[in-house]
Amino acid sequence: MNGTDEFFLRIPLGDWVDQGLDWLKANVEWLFDAFSWIILLLVDNLTDALLFLPPLAMIAIFAAIGWLVRSWPFAIGSALLFFLALTFDVWEPMMQTMAQVLIAAAIAVLIAVPLGILAAMNSTVSALIRPVLDFMQTMPAFVYLIPTVVLFGIGLVPGMVSTVIFSMPPGVRMTELGIRQVDSETVEAGESFGATPGQILRGIQLPLAVPTIMAGINQVIMLALSMAVVGGIAGAPGLGQEVVQAITSLNVPMGVEAGVGVVLLAVYLDRLTAALGDKHARNTSLLTLLTKARAQRATAFA
């Protein structure tokens, strides 16, 4: 048998997936329509809110958020970043992309954090979802657009669904890692007070795991931003659509300006979420010390 001959055994995986998609469209199309309606409602309303005020007013709001969350130098830097985007005339597509990223990241986090908690509490669940997460992270981003376009058609929704799937794994992994890394002595201190597993999870493990979870959320947002741009191929509006139009028409100025807009948005969101994680890290260090001190005091009086 030479290299050009087909192997005698061929698994028609692609055909099975295609048949599965046809079955889903024929039997649960109403579910996809409902999901599309919800996604469009959330993204459209958030986009309208971001574009409601004049750009300079929104720049002031973004700078104020940066000041409250991080520092005044970050606020000034944020204002300069968004003003630069305004001068590139990419303000509207940037706000469209921000709305898509925030909604997709929120949905991904709402799914990822409970899954991460479940994986941290149950080793069997962890072993089962780990290869699934590996598959989700290594699958090329463009491939996600194929089934989502088949199920949802061309437009915003397939890009959003692909973004949620693509960006979810870091949230699951980091949530599980954060809970598993909680100091065993701190957990034992909570148990010595008679706390139930649920109380220990809510009062000790989750608060102490917040910095690691926030690092995961940071990665979710960054992956959502990268995939939101890829979603422009499926017809999703925003900076991704600008990039696609620039590629198809070989429009260098449009491509450069849209690409820089993506970078500016990524820098702002990355530094913002990193600052939230740093704040929680300081608070959780204090929580650890207080819990251990109370446990030692209770042991001394016992």
Phi/psi region, residue 155 (left: phi>0; alpha: psi -120 to 50; beta: rest), is left
Structure letter (DSSP) for residue 250: T
| pLDDT given for residue 61 in this prediction | 93
Residue, of 91 and 15, whose pLDDT is higher: 91
Q: How many CB atoms lie within 10 A of CB 106?
A: 17
Q: What is the DSSP string of 122-144?
A: -HHHHHHHHHHHHHHHHS-HHHH
Residue 204: partners with Cβ closer than 8 Å, 6 or more residues away? 182, 186, 187, 190, 195, 287, 291
| pLDDT given for residue 6 in this prediction | 60
Residue with tokens 């706000």: 95
Q: What separation in angstroms does the CA of 215 have from each of 138, 208, 276? A: 20, 13, 9
CB 171, CB 108: distance < 8 Å:
yes
Please state the rounded mean pLDDT for residues 225-242: 82
Where residue 302 falls among pLDDT bands split at 50, 70, 90? very low
CATH architecture of 28-295: Orthogonal Bundle (1.10)
Model confidence over 237-270: pLDDT tens digits?
Answer: 888 888 888 888 888 888 888 888 888 888 898 8
Q: What does pLDDT average to over the chain?
A: 82
Distance between start and end Cα atoms, the chain:
79
Most confident of 172-176, 238-242, 271-275: 172-176
Burial of 8 (0-12, 13-18, 19+ CB in 10 A): exposed
